[in-house]
A and B are shown apart, each in its own frame.
Chain A
């Protein structure tokens, strides 16, 4: 409970928590578009490319004024996206190649500037390399206010252009035919992405900021198919993991904030991938297991029915070994028969002899009917009796 009381009394902790939640909300919201438009790696390029922007802004002003540094980062990130677009549109180099190239070259150039700055005597440059991995503890209230203002402004843009951005994300061609200024919208949405990345740089660092953009949205995507809900969930995930990560990292001097937040949000993503309803892997596996069992049971039932068709009575008993060869060579016929017996479709007449019951016959007939009439419509229903 200590950390909770600290949250309200300790200035640093409160600042850090506030800052991280602002960051989480903004990046969660705008990351939704990045994930839906498959621009996740563009986020990576933008965040790496921000480094030279920060360095140039510092070189020009000679001081670490947050808004100037952020502006520099934003301009550099924006230039990077323009470079990627230019390369892919004018040459045959593909998107991935352009991204990798721009990302590494911009980052390398940033390093040159950073090492150059470090050599300047008497400059107040200390702390610029915190932009690599982020240092939440270095946040002050003024930073948080700045982040909040910028974040709020970008959320406002999302609200105003909600419908336009939605169409752009899901069906840009349709947006074009509707006469929307797709190019302008595309640029504005990318600019908002740049903004979201930039305000997280001080806390998370350029190396890992893209993950904070992608991960909340990727987690939220698993829980819903509605854009609005996805965005709210994503913002919540972003805020929660931001606060948790920043808290953990400021409780110990050694752990940079960026990686900690990434691990928190990564855990949420993993849980979502496995456990979200409908899409979750665990449910999918259960569904697949159920389906295959249903098919196995139906196969045994129908085999028994087919065998009995050669005899006078449809409840004529047959050997388990015969069924074994016919339907399920893996040797689970006995278990399948037991399950069918529990459900009242078959009965055991001898040690290895099985026969259909009256309900079993009816069930087999019904199965054949449905398979003959509408083979595909049966997919979702759980046959074989439950």
Chain B
């Protein structure tokens, strides 16, 4: 590995960690699409700040972007408050318009500079190591690395310092407000962090990947745990894994690093989606499937117990009769009986079904429960 490759991977790791931290709260607060909106809408802010400073690395760009990001949130909420448009339409209108302003400004007035629209949208991580930060004549590393580290530290410090407030305002905004935790302020501070992170990351990875890194890892982590602290840590880990995986995928395919990182996020998420214990698709489907049979077994046990020992038992407690009485198709009844027998709930005697003690107990329990 060359030193550039190491540096690119370091930047990728830092960017993904910095994005995952605020992303957790976006996913939990159902504001995931705000990251999409903000990462697009900060463009005019960057462009205007660039016109003022003529320096793509000026901190003023971050400031401009952060202000525009907050302005976007404010604009969306103002439109919502008029009740003229629903939330989805408000978000879906505000950010394309702001983004378009940015694109047109670039196209009209900044044709030749590095700030072209493809770079904004797609980013180019491969070039990040060439932009060095030189302090007193010594090269201390790529600027992007330092900037994103700063943003990561900022995000982490904020989350740790206001963990309790963020947690409460995320899960119970009403209670947070009642206790004087200012959920509104938390909301805007969080949006500021999202904007700052987006602008820091967009230069390296582009505005769309920012969304992938902010939403993907937290969404995957959400399927793995019920604890907020663990979810944050898992998001960071998943983000880093996808970033490194994406980098090497790009290396092998000779394709866009940002795109490959987004694809890796997608792959990791799909794997988690399918295989997550308890909340993954496979275990959800398996549980649903099992519940269907468990319920049917209960029904059968209740039915048998209801008639057992009575004169009509000879007619009722036969496998062939279930279709008539419980409305089960013959092969379905056959399978239920098979499952129930396997679970030791009943035994067959000829065509008659006899409850075991376990089966009788299950039926009694089920009746009491209901």
Q: What is A's interface to B at a CB cutoff of 8 Å?
A: 35, 38-41, 43-44, 48, 86-87, 90-101, 103-116, 119, 129, 132-133, 207-208, 210-211, 214-215, 217-218, 221-222, 254-256, 258-260, 262-263, 266, 269, 273, 279, 281, 284
Inter-chain contact A218/B97, CB cutoff 8 Å: no
Binding stretch for chain A, among B100-108, B183-191, B195-203, B348-356? B100-108
**A108-B209, A273-B84 known; A101+B263 contact, CB < 8 A:** no
Inter-chain contact B99/A207, CB cutoff 8 Å: yes
Chain A residues, Cβ within 8 Å of B108: 254-255
Inter-chain contact A90/B260, CB cutoff 8 Å: no
**A101-B215, A211-B97, A256-B103 known; A91+B273 contact, CB < 8 A:** yes
CA distance A214 to B284 in the complex (A): 35
> A116 contacts which of B218, B255, B273 (Cβ < 8 Å)?
B255
CA distance A52 to B191 in the complex (A): 30
Chain B residues, Cβ within 8 Å of A255: 104, 107-108
Q: How many residues of B contact A (CB 8 A)?
A: 65
Chain A residues, Cβ within 8 Å of B128: none
Sample of 5 A–B contacts (CB below 8 Å): A91-B281, A96-B31, A97-B219, A211-B92, A273-B84
Closest to B282 in A: A90
Inter-chain contact A281/B209, CB cutoff 8 Å: no
Considering the complex of A and B, which 7 residue pairs feature the smallest CB-CB distances, nearest first?
A108-B262, A111-B259, A105-B266, A211-B96, A259-B100, A104-B212, A40-B92
Inter-chain contact B261/A108, CB cutoff 8 Å: yes
Inter-chain contact B27/A97, CB cutoff 8 Å: yes
B157 interface contact, C-beta 8 A? no
B345 interface contact, C-beta 8 A? no
Inter-chain contact A111/B262, CB cutoff 8 Å: yes
Q: Is the interface of A mostly helix, strand, loop or mixed?
A: helix
Q: What is B's interface to A at a CB cutoff of 8 Å?
A: 27, 30-33, 35-36, 40, 79, 82, 84-89, 91-93, 96-97, 99-101, 103-104, 107-108, 111, 117-118, 121-122, 208-209, 211-212, 214-216, 218-219, 222-223, 249-250, 253-256, 258-263, 265-266, 269, 273, 279-281, 284-285
> B263 contacts which of A108, A254, A258 (Cβ < 8 Å)?
A108
Chain B residues, Cβ within 8 Å of A254: 107-108, 111
Inter-chain contact A104/B111, CB cutoff 8 Å: no
Chain B residues, Cβ within 8 Å of A258: 100, 103
> A281 contacts which of B84, B111, B269 (Cβ < 8 Å)?
B84
Closest to B279 in A: A91
CA distance A100 to B212 in the complex (A): 7
Interchain nearest-CB distance for A341 vs B (Å)? 37
Interchain nearest-CB distance for A272 vs B (Å)? 9
Chain B residues, Cβ within 8 Å of A221: 84-85
Most A C-beta atoms less than 10 A away, residue of B107, B250, B260, B285: B107
Chain B residues, Cβ within 8 Å of A113: 255, 259
> A273 contacts which of B27, B82, B209, B273 (Cβ < 8 Å)?
B82
Chain A residues, Cβ within 8 Å of B104: 255, 259-260, 263
